[in-house]
């Protein structure tokens, strides 16, 4: 996707916005449990051309969706367009950002924007967060607001939690806002401390899209979060000082989890063990240990499949094939699960061969076509003025 293709729809654009998608290398279903995660922004993105409007209307053209919408900043609470019709799902994200900004003390302006992504919606690579952050940095630039990237990410999370209705953690919005080229981001969701860590030398990220789509707000995501919170309340009978699964050590979990209902116990076990995997993975990156990092990826996938139960057969097949191919250090599903993509850490000299073999083997086993994306960590979202 090139920016010039956007400005054909908006030739008098005043702003150019680029907001990356993200892939999570390790730490799945951990951010809303206040743990540590290891995502990376990637060099696939949402790109937007925009100009201000003199009125209070937001006029959007989403090229991916082949859809347009116009809504008023004065009727965000009603979630309706200018014709009084309910906003479609895709429009809730920019409208939600405007609503969250307003509720945080900022006054977004009317705007006309055209945008598109070079990743498919619902692939599990957080195109929704990329859209949210894109509009947030646009309105910040238009208003010249003094707003930190962390606060901007939190406002976008508020939009998704309270306006869209997905009870997500902060990881996706954080990553889209803070990405650094060639680096993963070791992010402590509780303290908000973070550290960029370079990928092991001579490695690359290969993403494989299963083609299976899920609607996150309609999936089991919110129920999974509620289950984790319920597990904490039950464990507090034995450990009254804990506030989240982040506070539960492996030893304490095995000591006190026997009384949990089976489903809750398995899900909580995944979270407790996954947080420890992220700690170990961070050390692997410091030591430039691609083999150790890849082993933790495979363990994480098995846990998501067997304990948290958010994998599907297509994702399992992709991971199993990848594990047998030359040059693959590790593979796992990425995102919430229920469909979407796998992420693979691969020897950079073998990425093309790996991607080609993965496509062929997956088709032979399933009869389905898989899209592979050779990717690299990228910088976070930014907005540029086009004014001369």
Q: Enumerate the active-site residues.
A: 172
DSSP string, 37-99: EEEEEEEEEEEEEEEE-SSSEEEEEETTTTEEEEEEGGGTTTTB-TTSPBPPGGGHHHHHHHH
Distance of CA 355 to the CA centre of its chain: 22
Tell which phi-psi region holds residue 347, choosing left (phi > 0), alpha (psi between -120 and 50) or beta. beta
Q: Are 189 and 24 in contact (CB under 8 A)?
A: no
- Relative to beta strand 183-188, strand 111-117 is unpaired
Cα–Cα nearest to 337, from 280, 285, 272, 274 = 274
Query: Residue 306: which residues within 8 A CB-CB, separation 6 or more?
Result: 266
Q: Are 30 and 274 in contact (CB under 8 A)?
A: yes
DSSP string, 96-144: HHHHHHHHTT--PPPEEEEEEESS-TTSSS-HHHHHHHHHHHHHHHHHT
């Amino acid at each position: 996707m090139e920016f010039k293709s956007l400005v054909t729809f908006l030739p008098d654009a005043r702003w150019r916005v680029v907001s990356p998608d993200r892939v999570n290398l390790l730490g799945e279903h951990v951010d809303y449990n206040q743990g540590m995660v290891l995502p990376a922004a990637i060099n696939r993105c949402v790109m937007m051309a925009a100009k201000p409007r003199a009125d209070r209307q937001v006029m959007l053209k989403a090229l991916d969706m082949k859809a347009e919408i116009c809504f008023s900043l004065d009727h965000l609470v009603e979630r309706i367009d200018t014709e009084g019709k309910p906003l479609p799902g895709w429009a809730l994200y920019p409208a939600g950002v405007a609503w969250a900004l307003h509720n945080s003390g900022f006054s977004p302006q009317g705007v006309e924007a055209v945008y598109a992504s070079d990743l498919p919606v619902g692939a599990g690579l957080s195109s929704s967060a990329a859209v949210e952050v894109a509009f947030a940095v646009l309105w910040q630039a238009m208003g010249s607001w003094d707003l930190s990237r962390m606060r901007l990410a939190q406002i976008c999370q508020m939009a998704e939690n309270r306006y869209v209705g997905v009870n997500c953690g902060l990881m996706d919005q954080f990553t889209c806002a803070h990405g650094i080229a060639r680096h993963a981001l070791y992010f402590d969701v509780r303290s908000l401390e973070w550290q960029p860590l370079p990928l092991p030398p001579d490695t690359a990220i290969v993403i494989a899209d299963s083609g299976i789509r899920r609607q996150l707000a309609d999936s089991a995501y919110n129920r999974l979060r509620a289950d984790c919170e319920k597990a904490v309340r039950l464990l507090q009978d034995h450990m009254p000082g804990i506030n989240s699964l982040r506070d539960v050590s492996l030893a304490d979990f095995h000591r006190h989890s026997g009384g949990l209902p089976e489903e809750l116990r398995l899900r909580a076990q995944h979270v407790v063990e996954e947080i420890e995997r992220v700690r170990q993975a961070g050390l692997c990156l410091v030591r430039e240990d691609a083999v150790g990092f890849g082993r933790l990826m495979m363990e994480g996938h098995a846990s998501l499949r067997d304990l948290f139960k958010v994998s599907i057969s297509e994702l399992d097949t992709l991971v199993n094939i990848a594990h047998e191919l030359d040059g693959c250090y590790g593979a796992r599903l990425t995102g919430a699960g229920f469909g979407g993509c796998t992420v693979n850490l691969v020897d950079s000299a073998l990425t093309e061969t790996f991607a080609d073999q993965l496509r062929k083997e997956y088709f032979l086993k399933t009869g389905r076509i898989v899209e592979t994306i050779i990717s690299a960590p990228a910088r976070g979202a930014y907005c540029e003025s086009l004014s001369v």
